[in-house]
C-alpha cells in the first residue's frame, strides 16, 4: 500500500488514516511565537493604520446594524434582512449627502465670515449689561477693557480655526479617494461580519477550552447584545438631540440652525457633558441677536439636557450598561483626561465591555483553599470529588493529634 492510500484510507479495507504527526515545542517557544505574532500585528497596524480604522469601523457598523437586522429578521430571511438594513443605511447617507451636507458646508463658510460681527454685537450687548455693575464699583476694570481683551482672544481663536478649516479643505479633497476606500472597507467588513456571524461565533466557541465552550458562547452573546444595544441607542439619542435642537433654533430665529444642530448631535456622543458643550456656540450666536434670544436658547438646551440626562441616556444605560450614571460620568472624565477627546468618546463602550467581563467572571470565579498535603507512609492525599482530601480521614484513622 502506498503512502497516498494510507492517507486517504483506501488501503486495507478503507481503514481510517492516522492523524497528523504532532510537532512538539516547549512552552518557551510557544510563548515566543505568540509574542512575535502580536508584535507583527502591531507593526502592521502601525504601518497601515487604515486597516485598524476599517476593522474598528466595520465592527462598530456591524454592531449598530445588528439591531435593525434582528427587527427585519422577524419578517424575512436573514440575508434579505441584512440587505434591507444596508439599503436603509445607504438611503440615509444619500439623503444626508444631497440635502444636509451642502447646507452645512455653506453655513460653515458663512459662519467663519460672520464671526467678527457676532463678536462685536455680543460685546456691545455684554457692555450694556455690565454697565450697572461698573457704576456700583463691583468691576475691577471698565467693561470696555474687559470686552476688548475677550474680543481680541475670540477673534484670534476664530481666525486660527478658519485657517485650519480652509487649510484642511485641500487635504480633505485630496484624500477623497482614500476616504472612499476606507468607507468601502468598513461596509465590506461589517457586511461579512453580519453574514458570517454564526461561523465566527462557532470559531470563537471552538477555540475555547472544551469544558468552557458554553460559557464562551454566553460571553459572545453578552458582548453582542450589550454593544449593539448601546450603539443603536446612542445613534437614536444623538439623532433626536440634533434634530430637536436644530428645529428649535430655527423657530427661535437663531442663524445656522442646521450647523448648530449637527454640532449638538456630534457632542451628544459624550453623555451628560455633550449637551452643555453643544449649547455654547448656540448661546453665543443667539447673544449676538438679543439677550432674550440667548435666554430662550439657554432654556432650550437646559430642556435638552434634562431630556438626555433623565430619559435618553438612562434608557440606554439600563438596557446596555447596567451601571450607575455617576460611574458613567466618571468614566468619561477619566477617559478624556487620559486620552483626550478619543478617550472620552470610547470611554462608555469600554465600560460596557468591562461590565460584561465583570459579570462573566463574577459568576464563575471561585476561591478555594488548596488541599493540605500531609505525607502518610510516603503517600500524598488525593482530594475527592467534593473537595475533601484524604488527609483528614487518615488523621482520624491513625488518631493523629491535631
- The domain boundary, picked from 195, 211, 240, lies at 195
Is 339 within a domain? yes
3-state SS assignment for residue 325: helix
Question: Grid coordinates representing 394?
Answer: 487518615
Residues 63 and 165 in one domain: yes
Question: Does 14 score more than 60 pLDDT?
Answer: no
Task: Name the nearest CA neighbour of 352 among 315, 312, 318, 307.
Answer: 318
Residues 271 and 326 in one domain: yes
Q: What does the alpha-carbon distance between residue 260 and residue 249 come to, in Å, rounded to a whole number? A: 8
Residues 69 and 189 in one domain: yes
Torsion, CA 106, CA 109, CA 115, CA 121, rounded to 10:
-40
Is 376 within a domain? no
The dihedrals phi and psi of 23, each to the nearest 5 degrees, come to: -110, 110
Residues 296 and 172 in one domain: no
Q: What does the alpha-carbon distance between residue 294 and residue 287 come to, in Å, rounded to a whole number? A: 5
Residues 107 and 169 in one domain: yes
The pTM score is 0.62
Q: What confidence tier does 147 reach under pLDDT thresholds 50, 70, 90?
A: low
249 to 3, 115, 155, 299: CA distances (angstroms):
80, 18, 24, 11
Residues 162 and 243 in one domain: no
In three-state form (DSSP H/G/I as H, E/B as E, the rest C), the secondary structure along 97-144 is HHHHHHHHHHHHHHHHHHHHHHHHHHHHHHHHHHHHHHHCCCCCCCHH
Residue 280's domain comprises: 230-363
Residues 296 and 173 in one domain: no
Structure confidence at residue 396 (pLDDT):
40
Is 298 within a domain? yes
State how far Cα 169 lies from the chain centre: 27
pLDDT in tens, 306-351: 877 677 766 666 556 777 777 878 888 888 888 777 788 888 888 8
Assess contact for 285 and 255: CB atoms under 8 A.
yes
Is 388 within a domain? no
Is 135 within a domain? yes
Is 279 within a domain? yes
Count of domains forming the chain? 2
Residues 154 and 47 in one domain: yes
Is pLDDT larger for residue 396 or for residue 31? 31
Residues 6+ apart with CB under 8 A from 215: 208, 360, 364
Residues 126 and 272 in one domain: no
Question: Does 252 score more than 80 pLDDT?
Answer: yes
Is 382 within a domain? no
Residues 189 and 243 in one domain: no
Structure confidence at residue 398 (pLDDT):
39
Residue listed under C-alpha cell 448631535: 265
Selection from 130-134, 153-157, 276-280, 316-320 with the highest mean pLDDT: 276-280
Residues 181 and 324 in one domain: no
pLDDT in tens, 200-246: 888 888 888 888 888 888 888 888 778 877 887 788 888 888 888 88
Residues 116 and 240 in one domain: no
Structure confidence at residue 390 (pLDDT):
46
DSSP letter, residue 22: P
Is 399 within a domain? no
- The domain boundary, picked from 180, 195, 210, lies at 195
Assess contact for 245 and 264: CB atoms under 8 A.
yes
Average pLDDT, the chain: 75
Task: Name the nearest CA neighbour of 351 among 331, 337, 336.
Answer: 331
Assess contact for 67 and 228: CB atoms under 8 A.
yes
Amino acid at each position: 500500500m502506498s503512502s497516498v492510500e494510507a492517507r486517504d484510507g483506501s488501503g486495507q479495507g478503507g481503514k481510517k488514516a492516522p492523524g497528523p504527526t504532532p510537532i512538539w515545542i516547549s512552552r518557551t517557544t510557544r510563548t515566543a511565537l505568540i509574542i512575535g505574532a502580536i508584535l507583527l500585528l502591531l507593526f502592521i497596524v502601525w504601518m497601515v493604520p487604515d486597516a485598524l480604522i476599517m476593522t474598528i469601523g466595520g465592527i462598530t457598523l456591524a454592531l449598530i446594524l445588528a439591531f435593525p437586522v434582528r427587527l427585519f429578521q422577524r419578517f424575512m430571511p436573514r440575508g434579505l434582512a441584512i440587505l434591507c438594513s444596508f439599503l436603509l443605511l445607504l438611503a440615509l447617507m444619500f439623503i444626508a449627502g444631497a440635502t444636509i451636507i451642502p447646507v452645512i458646508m455653506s453655513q460653515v463658510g458663512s459662519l467663519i465670515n460672520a464671526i467678527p460681527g457676532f463678536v462685536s454685537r455680543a460685546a456691545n450687548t455684554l457692555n450694556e449689561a455690565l454697565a450697572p455693575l461698573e457704576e456700583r464699583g463691583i468691576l475691577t476694570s471698565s467693561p470696555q477693557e474687559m470686552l476688548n481683551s475677550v474680543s481680541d482672544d475670540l477673534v484670534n481663536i476664530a481666525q486660527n480655526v478658519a485657517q485650519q478649516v480652509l487649510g484642511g479643505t485641500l487635504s480633505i479633497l485630496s484624500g477623497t479617494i482614500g476616504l472612499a476606500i476606507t468607507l468601502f472597507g468598513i461596509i465590506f467588513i461589517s457586511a461579512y461580519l453580519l453574514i458570517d456571524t454564526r461561523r465566527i461565533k462557532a470559531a470563537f466557541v471552538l477555540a475555547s477550552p472544551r469544558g468552557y465552550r458554553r460559557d464562551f458562547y454566553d460571553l459572545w452573546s453578552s458582548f453582542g447584545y450589550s454593544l449593539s444595544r448601546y450603539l443603536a441607542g446612542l445613534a437614536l439619542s444623538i439623532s433626536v438631540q440634533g434634530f430637536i435642537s436644530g428645529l428649535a433654533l430655527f423657530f427661535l430665529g437663531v442663524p445656522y440652525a442646521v450647523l448648530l444642530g449637527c454640532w449638538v448631535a456630534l457632542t451628544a456622543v459624550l453623555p451628560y457633558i455633550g449637551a452643555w458643550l453643544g449649547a455654547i456656540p448656540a448661546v453665543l450666536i443667539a447673544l449676538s441677536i438679543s439677550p432674550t434670544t440667548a435666554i430662550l436658547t439657554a432654556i432650550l438646551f437646559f430642556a435638552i439636557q434634562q431630556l438626555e440626562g433623565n430619559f435618553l441616556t438612562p434608557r440606554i444605560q439600563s438596557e446596555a450598561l447596567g451601571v450607575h450614571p455617576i460611574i458613567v460620568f466618571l468614566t468619561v472624565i477619566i477617559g478624556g483626561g487620559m486620552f483626550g477627546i478619543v478617550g472620552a468618546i470610547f470611554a462608555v463602550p469600554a465600560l460596557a465591555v468591562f461590565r460584561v467581563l465583570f459579570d462573566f467572571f463574577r459568576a464563575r470565579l471561585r476561591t478555594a483553599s488548596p488541599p493540605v498535603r500531609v505525607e502518610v507512609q510516603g503517600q500524598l492525599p488525593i482530594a475527592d470529588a467534593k473537595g475533601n482530601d484524604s488527609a483528614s480521614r487518615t488523621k482520624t484513622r491513625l488518631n493523629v493529634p491535631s
